[in-house]
């Protein structure tokens, strides 16, 4: 793994939850960046620092109790 590698995941969720998930995930500074890919379809892309992949997975698992979301195709390692 070279410096600068990042893991990406695409999530589909309700439009009303986009700001909430951005607020929660980006509050953990340095773990993940959230980018809205398609606002109408409510698709966001997570760019995750590889060392914190399991931490982000744990946060997402906890958030599933609050919001509906699912991972969709398109996430990849850059």
Instruction: Check if the beta carbon of residue 75 is closer than 8 Å to that of residue 37.
Output: no
Cβ within 8 Å of residue 60, ≥6 positions away: 11, 69
What per-residue confidence (pLDDT) applies to 78?
Answer: 45
What per-residue confidence (pLDDT) applies to 77?
Answer: 45
Which residue shows structure tokens 């793994």?
1
Output the 3-class SS for the chain: CCCCCCEEEEEEECHHHHHHHHHHHHHCCCCEEEEEEECCCCEEEEEECHHHHHHHHHHHHHHCCCCCEEEECCCCEC
78 within a domain of the structure (yes/no): no
50 within a domain of the structure (yes/no): no
Query: d(Cα 57, Cα 3) in Å, to the nearest integer?
Result: 21
Average confidence (pLDDT) per 10 residues, the chain, 78 residues: 74 94 92 92 93 94 93 66
48 within a domain of the structure (yes/no): no
What per-residue confidence (pLDDT) applies to 74?
Answer: 67
What per-residue confidence (pLDDT) applies to 39?
Answer: 86
Range of the domain at 27: 7-43+55-72
pTM: 0.83
Q: Looking at the 3D structure of the chain, how many domains does it have? A: 1
């Amino acid at each position: 793994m070279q410096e600068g590698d990042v893991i990406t995941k695409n999530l589909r969720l309700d439009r009303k939850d986009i700001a909430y998930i951005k607020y929660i995930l980006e509050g953990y500074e340095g773990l993940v960046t959230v980018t809205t890919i398609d606002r109408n379809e409510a698709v966001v892309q997570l760019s995750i620092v590889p060392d914190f992949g399991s931490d982000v997975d744990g946060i997402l698992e906890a958030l599933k109790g609050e919001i509906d979301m699912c991972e969709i195709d398109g996430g990849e390692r850059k």
